[in-house]
Amino acid sequence: MQSTPVRKVFVHTALVLLLSTMVVAGAPESFRYRLGATYGLGNIIAPKKPYYTFNHLWGFSAGMDFARLNLTFGVLSQKNYSDSGATGHSGFFADRHKATRAFTSIRTGFDADYHILSTGRFRPTIGLGLGYLIWKFSDPAGDTVVRTLGSRDNIVDFGAAEMYLSAALGLEVAASRRLGLHLKTSVDCLTGVGTAFADSVDDHRGRLFFRAGLTLSYRFGADGGERLSEEKWPSEKSWAQAVESPKKPAKDQDADLDGVADKRDRCPNTPPGAIVDKMGCPTDSDGDGVPDGVDNCPQTPLAAAGYVDIYGCPVDADYDGVPDYRDRCLSGPLGAAVDDDGCPVDADGDGVYDGLDDCPGTEAGIEVDERGCIDIAFLRDTMRVYIDYDSGSFEVDIRTRERLGPLIRKLKILAQVKIEIVGYTDNVGAAEANQSLSQKRANRMRDWLAGEGIASERMTATGKGETNFIASNDTADGRAKNRRIEFIFSQF
């Protein structure tokens, strides 16, 4: 063990003890933010030789303080050396010139420390931590990284950025209104996340890192109450008056009128009307972020946290009656009926949501307009049906019957619509024969529609032969277009 490092430890310890005696009367003012510097000792616990010795660690931290919880982000740096003469892990400050291996580490992560006591200048803490330890084993002489066996039987650097979990015990001391000391011991457990070593290497490398350190913190950003202000230097007269009649502070002053005197109020800026605990901090029984007493919905489910308004009531952004915290369809259209999950319902499956559907009982498969009602736009124009008639035939073929299925379903519903059925032919053959054939084709279409459920009195059939051509009869395609049935719709 070297004497010089030991002396440094004693000097640092003496300074810390000196700062810890700087105790002022009364409870410290509550501050929100904190910056700190850390000094301590730490060591990697190796399962077998070479053993390492405790060495200095240094670091800095930044955090936020709450009523009984401190959240901190910190960085610690350390280098440990092996000691060939050590028989365990209790040695200190091994000589690096005699060491065969060095363990270098940088610890970066988050710590959460909970105060067991809510008040007092000396408050014990327990804590948990999570982060990454960036480490390597190296040769102390040249600082070259040691090589080892990887998980794929390859040679890799013996180092990693490995996730750790930690547990800690500590004691926090309020040295002054803004300075705090936190003496803490912690054990980091290296999880293996971030490493890729062979099992034989993992089984014999150190997984625990023990640390004991002291953090000196400077707190700032008042969390409520009156902030410190500069006072003018008093005159001799006022000074004499103050000595003769010193002003006594009000013992029971309560600036935020929450029923808790300022001297023990840890939350001195409580909003008016809020219910507070014995330490003057607002309670929030349903955990929605709005204090009891000003929460208009005090029984909000825990799942609604983050989805409430300033009055503590669940938000329903799309006004569908289902609060956002359990609404699976947050962007549903206004006015649509929804299910228990807040998703629009379409009972008749026509593509128009219930609540916006003016015809909610539409038969399945019926084409509808934007209001959910049968689309009657087809009634405005003449409908042409091209039928694959055999030569001289007037029978409606199977393919045409299938194509006319949707039209028949609409016509059954639109009972007030009349249908004029007009038959045409091409100019092949005698005109009289074509006239007779077109009439037969119109009659056959009428009879077939009647058989499908369209009342006969709604229909008329007319044959117009080889007239009103819509294409040239000089081509097969043109003649096929001229051999057609036309539906003309009107109302009774």
Same domain, 208 and 320: no
What is the biggest distance separating any 2 CA atoms in the chain, rounded to whole angstroms?
137
209 and 157 assigned to the same domain? yes
The alpha carbon of 128 is separated from its chain's Cα centroid by a whole number of angstroms, namely 24
Tell whether the model's pLDDT for residue 128 goes beyond 90. yes
Residue 180 domain-assigned? Answer: yes
Is residue 257 included in any domain, yes or no? no
324 domain-assigned: yes
pLDDT band at residue 16 using 50, 70 and 90 as cut-offs: very low
Least confident of 26-35, 85-94, 353-362: 26-35
Taking all residues of the chain, what is their mean pLDDT, rounded to a whole number?
83
pLDDT in tens, 386-434: 888 777 778 888 899 999 998 998 899 888 999 999 999 999 889 999 9
Question: In this structure, are 94 and 184 located in the same domain?
Answer: yes
Instruction: Using pLDDT thresholds of 50, 70 and 90, give the confidence band for residue 68.
Output: confident
Mean pLDDT to the nearest integer, 207-236: 69
* pLDDT score of 470: 92
Distance from C-alpha of 473 to C-alpha of 479, rounded to nearest angstrom: 5
Neighbours of 172 (CB within 10 A): 21
Nearest to residue 68, comparing CAs of 281, 220, 216? Answer: 281
Residue 12 pLDDT > 80: no
Residues 178 and 55 in one domain: yes
Q: What is the 3-state secondary structure (H, E, C) of 455-490?
A: CHHHEEEEECCCCCCCCCCCCHHHHHHHCEEEEEEE
Query: What is the residue whose two structure tokens read 């038969």?
Result: 363
Q: Is the pLDDT of residue 471 over 90?
A: yes
Same domain membership, residue 49 and residue 100? yes
Residues 24 and 102 both lie in one domain: yes
Question: Burial level of 467, CB count in 10 A (0-12/13-18/19+)?
Answer: middle
pLDDT category at 227 given cuts 50, 70, 90 is very low
Number of neighbouring beta carbons within 10 Å of residue 247: 7
Q: What is the spatial distance between Cα 114 and Cα 240, in angstroms, rounded to a whole number?
A: 47
Name which residue leads in pLDDT, 40 or 229.
40
Instruction: Read off the amino acid at residue 143.
Output: D
Kindly state the DSSP code that residue 145 receives in the 8-state scheme: B
- The beta strand positions in 359-455, using DSSP E, are 383-386, 417-423
Tokens 């405005």 belong to residue: 380
Using CA of residue 123, residue 127, residue 132, residue 133, what is the dihedral sign? positive
* Mean pLDDT, rounded, for 337-366: 85
- 103 and 16 together in one domain: yes
Residue 92 has pLDDT above 90, yes or no: no
Scanning 149-255, the segments in alpha helix (DSSP H) are: 199-202, 236-244
**Host domain of residue 351:** 316-363
Please give the average per-residue pLDDT across 361-381, as a whole number: 81
Q: Contact, 129 vs 111, CB < 8 A?
A: yes
Shared domain check, 398 and 296: no
Q: What is the pLDDT of residues 200-220, one digit of tens each?
A: 888 888 889 999 999 999 988
Tell which of 328, 363, 398 closes a domain.
363
Co-location of 282 and 395 in the same domain: no
Task: Give yes or no for residue 294 having a pLDDT over 80.
Answer: yes
The encoded tokens of residue 49 equal 């030789």
What's the predicted TM-score (pTM) here?
A: 0.42
Residue 217: the pLDDT is: 93
Same domain, 67 and 174: yes
Whether residue 354 is found in the same domain as residue 383: no
**DSSP H or E stretch at residue 188:** strand 179-190
pLDDT, residue 19, reads 42
**Amino acid 328: pLDDT:** 86
Let me know whether 280 and 416 are in one domain: no
Which of 68, 70, 29, 19 has the alpha carbon at shortest distance from 221? Answer: 29
CATH of the domain at 166: 2.40.160.20
Domain edge (last residue) among 307, 332, 363: 363
Domain total of the chain: 4
How far is residue 167's CA from residue 68's CA, in Å, rounded to a whole number? 17
Pairing of strands 55-65, 69-81: antiparallel
Residue type, 1: M
Report how far residue 444's alpha carbon sits from residue 485's, in angstroms, rounded to the nearest whole number. Answer: 11
77-81, 102-106, 302-306: lowest mean pLDDT where? 302-306
242 within a domain of the structure (yes/no): no
> How many Å separate Cα 59 from the centre of its chain?
32
Return the DSSP state at 286. Answer: T
Is a pLDDT exceeding 90 seen at residue 447?
Answer: yes
Q: Decide which of 169, 194, 222 is a domain's last residue.
A: 222
Per the CB < 8 A criterion, the answer to whether 61 and 75 are in contact is yes
Among candidate residues 221, 213, 216, the one with its CA nearest the CA of residue 173: 216
Residue whose entry in the numeric block shows the structure tokens 């982000």: 73
Does residue 199 lie within any of the structural domains?
Answer: yes
What is the CATH classification number for the domain harbouring 410? 3.30.1330.60
Least confident among 100-109, 175-184, 356-365, 409-418:
356-365
**DSSP code at position 264:** G
Q: Is the model's pLDDT at 244 over the cut of 90? A: no
**How many Cβ atoms are within 10 Å of 423's Cβ, its own excluded?**
28
Question: Does any domain span residue 251?
Answer: no
Residue 238 lies in a domain: no
pLDDT band at 86, cuts 50/70/90?
A: low
Q: Is residue 389 part of a domain?
A: yes
pLDDT over threshold 70, residue 232: no
Is residue 360 packed enough to be buried (19+ CB in 10 Å), middle (13-18) or exposed (0-12)? middle
Segment 470-485 shows an average pLDDT of: 91
Distance of alpha carbon 211 from alpha carbon 80, whole angstroms: 12
